Structure 1
Amino acid sequence: MLTLKNPNGLAKAVVVLLAGDIVFDVLLGLIDVRGLAAENGTYFDPAVIGGVDLYVAYSMAFTLWFATAVVFIIWFHRLRKNAEVWARDLQGRTPGWAIGGWFIPVANLWIPQGIAADIWRASRWEPSAADAKGEMTLLNSWWAVWVADTIVDRIASQLYKWAETPEAYDTATLWSLASYGLDIVAAVLAIRVVRRLTSMQTAKATGMIPAAQ
């Protein structure tokens, strides 16, 4: 028997973790800015970036990012299971795809977005109704920025691997800065998506809590 599960606790955890990711994006972005301003040959000197240990900073950021990804996917899967209760016939993929879809190379650039759209429709009052004008703007904006961030981050990583001159490192750093900027925007939009979808499901389950904007 399918039963609804409360997503509020997971949603709060995801929001806190995403906020932490934003803080680290700002910190690492400032490190890149200081690196660009540094004299040639001193980019990797901790003293140039205010005494911050790069390896510690990146390790902490990666640990936080990993924790965010894990909790986000658990939250996402819970919402997909809830969507099964309300509109199983409108779900294009089984709940397992809410987890596995994130780990398929290339296809993960569109599979989770399709699942999220199905969850959104199932979570509103009339799942079968046509999408209202602009209804999916928040969801689609988040996804577009996330995909752009993923692509730019991969380009930056490759440029760092190929870099052999100060100029090449600067180019890679500029791409890295762009990635941090996109990641901040994606995280802000993700927070709004998490709050919105969670509130929609809570509203539908209780019939009395208004959905957050």
Structure 2
Amino acid sequence: MPVAVRGWRMGFPVDEHAEYRPLSTLAKLLAGVFGFALALDLLLAALTGRVLARLGTHPSVLNGFTPADVASLVRIVHAGSTISFIWWFRRAYGNLPALGHARHHGVGWSIGAWFVPILNLFRPKQIAIELWAAGDPPAPPPDPPGLVGWWWGIFLFRVWMDARASTPARPQTLGEFQTSLLLGVASCLVSAAAAAVAIALVVRVSNRQDARAATFSHDCSPSQASR
């Protein structure tokens, strides 16, 4: 049964024998993945913008080029970064009992919440606030940092932009090509911003949790975790 712990509203009981799994190595790996995604987004935005700028006077630049080509590459990179992020998200949420913090939700929701309609509009942000609150120095859940809000807001905007930029059929007119390319550029720029904020969130939360583990009264320092 959920219980109240350390001023938290409700949560799953803290396991004093829970093992802390350090996040620093995984955070560096994830930062690299997001960094690559960010660089690719900017590159694709620049290339697509160049085509867009020349489209009015040199329609031939479209030969062999479609917005779907850009969207396909972006989707592949985004899929890899999303899987990596959810992996980190799950590990960070699983660490909360070892840090003396009760979780408001079962650890499985750190994965499942991303895929349940409606719930995925707010539950991941709530869990991210818990991740932040469990770090060092302590931060009560009612006062989430601006970083979490920016991360979630830009992420949702990115999802919306990706949907708008997706073109199931090849545009037929010059105007349709221009609109599609413009949306592609905007989507890449928003995705780059989302990647940058995600890097900041991952690094900050990981550092806070590792610092908390190092000072926590229970024997749960990162050096004693098996991985």
Unaligned regions of 5+ residues in structure 2, if any? 1-16, 217-227
More helix by share: 1
2:21 matched residue in structure 1: 5
Residues 71 and 184, structure 2, Cα contact 8 Å, conserved in 1: no
Q: In the TM superposition, what is the alpha-carbon distance from 1:32 to its structure 2 partner?
A: 1.3
Match for 2:188 among 175, 180, 191? 180
Residues 10 and 71, structure 1, Cα contact 8 Å, conserved in 2: no
* DSSP 3-state at the match of 1:102: coil
Q: CA separation in 1, counterparts of 2:186 and 2:118?
A: 21
Q: In the TM superposition, what is the alpha-carbon distance from 1:94 to its structure 2 partner?
A: 1.2
Match for 2:203 among 192, 195, 201? 195
1:78 equivalent to 2:91? Answer yes
Q: TM-score, normalised by structure 1?
A: 0.80
Q: CA separation in 1, counterparts of 2:176 and 2:162?
A: 16
1:42 equivalent to 2:55? Answer no
Q: CA separation in 1, counterparts of 2:198 and 2:113?
A: 18
Unaligned regions of 5+ residues in structure 1, if any? 209-213
Q: CA separation in 2, counterparts of 1:130 and 1:71?
A: 28
1:104 equivalent to 2:120? Answer no
Summarize the alignment of residues 19-34 of structure 1 with structure 2, pairs less than 5 Å apart: 19-34=35-50
Q: TM-score, normalised by structure 2?
A: 0.76
Q: In the TM superposition, what is the alpha-carbon distance from 1:168 to its structure 2 partner?
A: 1.3
Summarize the alignment of residues 119-134 of structure 1 with structure 2, pairs less than 5 Å apart: 119-126=131-138, 128=140, 131=143
Higher relative contact order (CA 8 A, sep 6+): 2
Summarize the alignment of residues 111-150 of structure 1 with structure 2, pairs less than 5 Å apart: 111-126=123-138, 128=140, 131=143, 136-150=145-159
Q: CA separation in 1, counterparts of 2:209 and 2:189?
A: 30
2:14 matched residue in structure 1: none
**Pair 109,30 (structure 1): closer, same or farther in 2 beyond 3 Å:** same
* DSSP 3-state at the match of 2:61: coil
| Alignment length (residue pairs) | 196
Q: Name the larger-Rg structure.
A: 2
* DSSP 3-state at the match of 2:62: coil
